[in-house]
Structure 1
Amino acid sequence: MDRSTAVRTAGVVVLAANLLLAVAKGLVWLQTGSLAVGSEAVNSLSDAVYSVVVLAGLYLTTRPPDFDHPHGHERIEPFVSLLVALGVFAAGGLILWRSATSLISGDISTTMSPLAVGVLVGTGAIKYGLFQYCLRIGNDANSPAVEAIALDNRNDILTAGAALIGVLGARIGIPELDPLAAGVVSFGILYTGWEIVESNVDYLVGRAPSEDLRAKIVQRALSHPEVEGVHDVVAHYVGPEIDVSMHVEVEGDRTLIEAHNIETEVMESVRAIPEVDDVFVHVDPKELGEWKADDEADRLAETHTRDGDDN
């Protein structure tokens, strides 16, 4: 399955699951009146609503390049992730507000119905499956938006667990466990929203990739038999993908065609790294005096050589 199909399929699967869960929880809430189940129904309904928007965003990000967007539309993905973060913040804030008002007013609706227990346990199981599925697709497709959806589904496991604590609390005569558990979980949800924002803002402001990836880029360039050294290596995120520019040092007696071939081969080698999109290589002949020391490039090359290249 190609990247576009995998990402779009993930969006459809999550939307369908959220719709089914919203209906199931709503029916159980109407029968039991449980605050815990009612909050979960609202949570799933809000998930379904913003899943429609996220699915539209995923469709846009996986469209092929066109005249106005020659590099494709993947750079929209961090904005889709930020939209997911807004949904996470909204869910966390709503749960915190409902738990606080319930504790203050003392108006706590609980239930001991097996239906409530069943729908909450089922929610946890389904959300765990969605979390693992979206995490795998997000990692394989290098999709920050799908990874953000995975984290949101992880949150839903926590909220379902908190609601289950509330139902069990009613069975043992401590109904206050319902809003207390929900309040504690809300802070975890809000923190997840912050995690999504933090990682995706890095994509938007051009953060450098990890040291391991930068070391791999340097090593790929130095692995060419005609390359004597590299300097001024710059790698940064443009959306979820990485652009690279570098100077490679070669002997000056190469013909123009030979220099061009070296440049092309280095570019193709670095671009073969899955996370890398565009690569710009400048060839510096020795005789022009443009070879220079680059301590950072030397350090990365030595580190990656010591750790082993996983080409």
Structure 2
Amino acid sequence: MARASALRRVGLLILAANLALAVAKGGVWYLTGSLAVGSEAVNSLADAVYSVVVVAGLYLTTQPPDFEHPHGHERIEPFVSLFVAVGVLGAGCLVLYQSVTTLLSGDIQVARGPAAVAVLLVAAVVKFGLYRYCLAVAETHRSPALTATAVDNRNDILTAGAALVGVVGAGFGFPVLEPLAASVVAVGILVTGVDIVRDNVNYLVGAAPPEALRAEILRRALAHPDVQGAHDVVAHYVGPEIDVSLHIEVEGEKTLYEAHAIETAVVDSIRALPEVDDVFVHVDPKELGEWKEDTEVDRLIRPRRGR
């Protein structure tokens, strides 16, 4: 339950922070007419909307396994992340449309007073704190939804900085910087959405994990003194977790009890990796000659085949 409570707590914190920022930015935009602040208000409002989905999604993903979902509900998380991406991309398109139409029309309102500067500075500080916190929890609990949220908060720091440049520049007599800064904000939002989609598609299509992790899986299998080689090694994402299957070769004279003990030891060793969920090991008697060349195994690690 530590993971469940941690993810839910972060989700509620993000929702509260984004709501507060959306209200603050919206109020300043209403008072000053700053397009850059207005675009940031739209961004924070979009963040608040997807935060509701993140909270609901994290609640579902942290439910315990049941009869219909024996492996738990973690595979919902990539879908939550993609919903975040859709919201982010939509907000980016809206802000870009507003800034471009303002530039083309030439009807630019300049923000007055320190309120716009203050709210953007506060937003940048808050977003930096959320970014560090979300990233730490995401790495600890391997949560793609929180990783996506952390990336969004990181980019919000940059977009708030761009908006701040626009507000300050407009105050010094360069009003065109306002819609230009809003355009930069929009591009930052769109880049965030694309990054989130790219990072989560692998979870949904069953892509292979990073090469370093695949090599570590092989090293653990071949570290057992009775394992002479490995082939047909497959590791792929199932949601945010990894399933592994492989064949290992052992001496054919081993008893069934001994072969079972070897298999169990290899499974336990690989399953000890925090990213791995399930491990399936098939034991081949070495003398039957079922071993086959596996270029992927040869590329990742030089196996001890005992040949």
| TM-score category, normalised to shorter length | over 0.9
Shift in Å, 1:95 = 1.2
Q: Following superposition of structure 1 onto structure 2, how do residues 216-235 of structure 1 map, counting pairs within 5 Å? A: 216-235=216-235
Please give the alpha-carbon distance, in whole angstroms, between the structure 1 residues aligned to 2:153 and 2:87. 12
SS of 1:282's partner is strand
Matched, 1:257 2:253: no
Matched, 1:168 2:168: yes
Matched, 1:66 2:85: no
Shift in Å, 1:131 = 1.1
Q: Following superposition of structure 1 onto structure 2, how do residues 294-309 of structure 1 map, counting pairs within 5 Å? A: 294-302=294-302
Please give the alpha-carbon distance, in whole angstroms, between the structure 2 residues aligned to 1:222 and 1:299. 14
The answer (yes or no) to whether the contact 1:36–1:166 under 8 Å persists in 2 is yes
Equivalent residue number for residue 240 of structure 1? 240
Render the CA deviation track for 1:130-157: whole Å, top value 9, x for unaligned.
1111112112211111110111112221
Render the CA deviation track for 1:52-109: whole Å, top value 9, x for unaligned.
1111011111111110000111111110110110111012111101100111111222
Q: Quick one: which amino acid aligns to residue 131 of structure 1?
A: Y
SS of 1:254's partner is coil
Equivalent residue number for residue 131 of structure 2? 131
The answer (yes or no) to whether the contact 1:19–1:44 under 8 Å persists in 2 is yes
Equivalent residue number for residue 108 of structure 1? 108
Q: Quick one: which amino acid aligns to residue 224 of structure 1?
A: H
Q: Quick one: which amino acid aligns to residue 138 of structure 1?
A: A
Equivalent residue number for residue 35 of structure 1? 35
TM-score, normalised with respect to structure 1: 0.93
Equivalent residue number for residue 309 of structure 1? none
Which shifted more, 178-187 or 49-58?
178-187
Equivalent residue number for residue 271 of structure 2? 271
Matched, 1:209 2:209: yes
Q: Quick one: which amino acid aligns to residue 141 of structure 1?
A: H
Structure 1 regions of 5+ residues with no counterpart? 304-311
Shift in Å, 1:237 = 0.6
| Cα root mean square deviation, aligned | 1.5
The answer (yes or no) to whether the contact 1:128–1:153 under 8 Å persists in 2 is yes
Between the aligned residues of both structures, percent identity stands at: 68
The answer (yes or no) to whether the contact 1:232–1:247 under 8 Å persists in 2 is yes
Structure 2 regions of 5+ residues with no counterpart? none
Matched, 1:18 2:1: no
SS of 2:174's partner is coil
Please give the alpha-carbon distance, in whole angstroms, between the structure 2 residues aligned to 1:267 and 1:45. 47
Please give the alpha-carbon distance, in whole angstroms, between the structure 2 residues aligned to 1:302 and 1:20. 55
The answer (yes or no) to whether the contact 2:39–2:185 under 8 Å persists in 1 is no
Please give the alpha-carbon distance, in whole angstroms, between the structure 1 residues aligned to 2:102 and 2:213. 49
Equivalent residue number for residue 44 of structure 1? 44
The answer (yes or no) to whether the contact 1:110–1:166 under 8 Å persists in 2 is no
The answer (yes or no) to whether the contact 1:36–1:110 under 8 Å persists in 2 is no
Shift in Å, 1:294 = 2.5
Equivalent residue number for residue 180 of structure 2? 180
Please give the alpha-carbon distance, in whole angstroms, between the structure 1 residues aligned to 2:97 and 2:275. 41
SS of 2:302's partner is helix
Render the CA deviation track for 1:112-142: whole Å, top value 9, x for unaligned.
3111111110101111111111112112211
The answer (yes or no) to whether the contact 1:3–1:141 under 8 Å persists in 2 is yes
The answer (yes or no) to whether the contact 2:62–2:74 under 8 Å persists in 1 is yes
Which shifted more, 164-173 or 270-279?
164-173
TM-score, normalised with respect to structure 2: 0.94
SS of 1:66's partner is coil
Equivalent residue number for residue 5 of structure 2? 5
Which shifted more, 162-171 or 203-212?
162-171
SS of 2:108's partner is coil
The answer (yes or no) to whether the contact 1:112–1:168 under 8 Å persists in 2 is no
Q: After TM superposition, what 4+ stretches of structure 1 lie above 4 angstroms from structure 2?
A: none
Shift in Å, 1:110 = 1.9
The answer (yes or no) to whether the contact 1:130–1:150 under 8 Å persists in 2 is yes
Please give the alpha-carbon distance, in whole angstroms, between the structure 1 residues aligned to 2:31 and 2:198. 41
Residues matched between the structures, number: 303
Equivalent residue number for residue 154 of structure 1? 154
The answer (yes or no) to whether the contact 1:162–1:178 under 8 Å persists in 2 is no
Please give the alpha-carbon distance, in whole angstroms, between the structure 2 residues aligned to 1:114 and 1:106. 24
